[in-house]
Structure formats: C-alpha cells, structure tokens
Amino acid sequence: MNAESIIRRKRDGQELSQSEIQELVKGISNNQIPDYQLAAFAMAVYFQSMNTREISDLTMAMAYSGKVMDLSGIAGIKVDKHSTGGVGDKTTLVAMPLAAAAGVPVAKMSGRGLGHTGGTIDKFESIPGFQVEMEYSEFIEQVNLINAAIVSQTGNLVPADKRLYAIRDVTATIESIPLIASSIMSKKIACGAQGIVLDVKVGQGAFMKNLDEAQQLARAMVNIGKETGRQAVALITDMEQPLGYAIGNTLEVIEAIDTLQGKGPDDLEHLSVEIAAYMVLLGKKAASIEEARQKVKSVLQSGQGLQKFLAIAAAQQGKIDVQKPFYGFGSAPVLKEVTVDESGYIAGINALGIGKAAMLLGAGREKIGAPIDYSVGIKLLNKQGDYVKKGQAIALIHAGYKNLKLAEELIRNSVQVTTEKVKKTPLIIDTVV
C-alpha cells in the first residue's frame, strides 16, 4: 500500500476507491501507517471532505477493523439509539425500557463520559450494584428474555477508529463531518444494530454548535445507514439548555425513574417518547410513526416502561427501591442553593456552563479513567421562559467538598435573566430520514 499516494489523491480532492479506503484502514489498525501520515490524511479529509460512498466505505472498513458483535441469536430487528452528547441527557434510561416494553429488542453497548457530557454507562453504574460487564452469552440471553441489556464497550471494538480519533483530537480535525459520521456509525454497526435512531444535539452544550453543521452530520449518518443496509433516523435536538432538570449521575437516574412514572420533566418525556417511537418504527412493531408514538405512550402510562427498567436493573444486579426516598440511592453530603441577583424571565441557561460546573463537582471526568462521584450534581429549579424573583433559588447543588464555590459561580453566570418575556426554543428542531 502507498499511503502517500492515497493522501495526495485526497489532498487534491480526488475520490478514493473502496480498495484504497480498506487498505488505509488496515494500515491504521495494524500500525503500518505512522501517526504523521494519519494526521495528513485526516487534514486532507477535513479540507476536501468525502462523498457518500467514500464515507460509507470508511465506516464499514472501520466497523470491521476489530471485533463485530453477532446478534443473530437475538430474535427480531435489533434497534439502537445514539446521542452525540449533551448536558442532562438521560434519554437512554427512558427510551430504552419504553422501546423494549413495546416489543423491540435493544442490545446496547455504551461508553463512559468524558468532559462536560455524561456517559450512559456512568449513569447505569450509579445504580447500586449494577453490573455493566457480562459474558456475551449472558448478554444475548438477557435480551432474548427481557428485550434489553446494556454493557460497556469492549476494548477491541473498532480499533481503527480509536487510533484515528486520537490523531484527530490533537490535529484540529475533530470537526470533520465525514470523520465524525463514520466514527459514530462504525461503532453502531460493529455493535450489531440493524436500526439506528440518532439524536444529534446542537447548541452551546453540544459538540455541534450550529444548525447547518448538525443537519450535515445528521444527513451524513442517515445516508451511511442507507448505503450499508441499515435503517437510520436522526433527530436534531436543542442543547442550548440542559435536558430535564437533573445533571449528575444519580440525580439523572432518579429523574429518569420519575419520568417512567409520568412525573418527570416535560422536555425529557417528550424527547424520550419520540426516540422510543422511532425505535419501535424501525423495529417494525408499528406501521407508522403515529402508531409507534401511541404504542410508546401506552407503555409509559401503563407503567410497563417502569417495570421494564426495573427488570433491566434487577437482571444486572442493580438495586432500586421505588418505595424509598431517592429510590434507595445515596445522596451528596452538601446541599447548596444558587439564587438569582435580579427579577425577570430566564432568557437562557448555558448548557456548557452547567455541564462544566457539574464536572468541577466531580460528576464528570477530565481524563479517561479518572474517578467520578456518582452522588454529586446540579438540580435546576427553573428553565428557559420561567419568571424568577430576585433572591429566588434557581438551582440546588448536590456537592461533596470539591469546588463548591467555583461551581456556584459558574451556575449563576450560566443563567441569563431579562425583563422581556421569552419565546421558548423548540426541543426537536428537525427530523432527517
């Protein structure tokens, strides 16, 4: 393989063949391509982009660069969901049991959080006793038995992507749409998903900061699905303010359980129902999205969604008692109110600032492998458009003994108050099919 020739062709805006892409990915996986050539390739793609066919070929080559999950032992169409990451985003904890209760098998592999966005595995691990690792045969058996299981991603999943991502992270090429899309979709395909519902976040607290880029990414991933024989739908959703009121692992699990009992935040319930409905549609358990929504709302209102969540937790040794305060979970030792300095309407709540405040408290990690404190976090008491009075509490910090003052200042600076009434931002901005 002549890596220099491939880099030059892409640098000059030429289309790479399937065999060239496959050889390139093979060279990435077995370390035959040095870091400096990999960096040059990433920069060439950043400036020259890739067409749909090239992106699909790159995705499939990376998906099969390591272990690929064989889910053929699970009956039915296996459907997964993926979020590009946000603050307070606990939709998996709600949408997964709702879709499973509606008859869709959800065999999910997820990762841990890094930076200001929380990881799904971290949230599940905050449930006392919950096990996120199990034997492959047990994983398959659990999905067949209760329609759902969640495990942490294996180390040998898409190794080519791991190496390419590490290079992108230090060469200012993270923002490349083809490389983002192929990175996300290669992992979903390697995990065995046949249907994929994508939640593309846009706004201050998201990776994608503007709508045009979010739409480009959504279209690229949906096109990958079509090109590779998978069904994919992408929702573009607002992340200017946190989703729901809770930010922090245990707090978010509690809010998810509240939502499954019909007493959670409206925005979290609305988005979770919509994601679960598309999972039901892709899983062919409904003939239309309207029918799928009704089916999901039915399992939510009947309590079947909650029972499915409790069944998933019990199967993976998690301990939840819905009759106890905080469902039996531990709580942080320090509670601190954050108040506003003026009266008016909340114009916005900077999701990035709130996410960073939660990370400062210990709810997130700045480096891979760093420990986190499951009990700490932030509970917002108001959202965009609410009227607040001077001195009123707008958030409650659940803290240990780390960075409390810094977090309080960051939260206060993240809330903008105006004297004018505020028009609320729509939560679901667009749907790409």
Q: Supply the residues annotated as catalytic.
A: 82, 161, 168, 183, 187
**DSSP H helical segments within 51-131, as ranges?**
52-63, 91-101, 120-125
Tokens coding 339 = 């108040």
Q: What is the 3-state secondary structure (H, E, C) of 286-327?
A: CCCHHHHHHHHHHHHHCCHHHHHHHHHHHHCCCCCCCCCHHH
Count CA atoms closer than 13 A to 122's CA, side-chain side.
Answer: 31
Closest CA to 283 of 129, 73, 76: 76
Tell me if residue 406 falls in helix, strand or coil.
helix
R_g of the chain computed on alpha carbons: 22
Closest CA to 186 of 24, 26, 62, 85: 62
CB-CB contact of 384 with 318 (8 Å): no
Closest CA to 54 of 25, 83, 97, 95: 25
Q: Following DSSP, what letter does each residue of 244-256 receive, concatenated?
A: SSEESHHHHHHHH
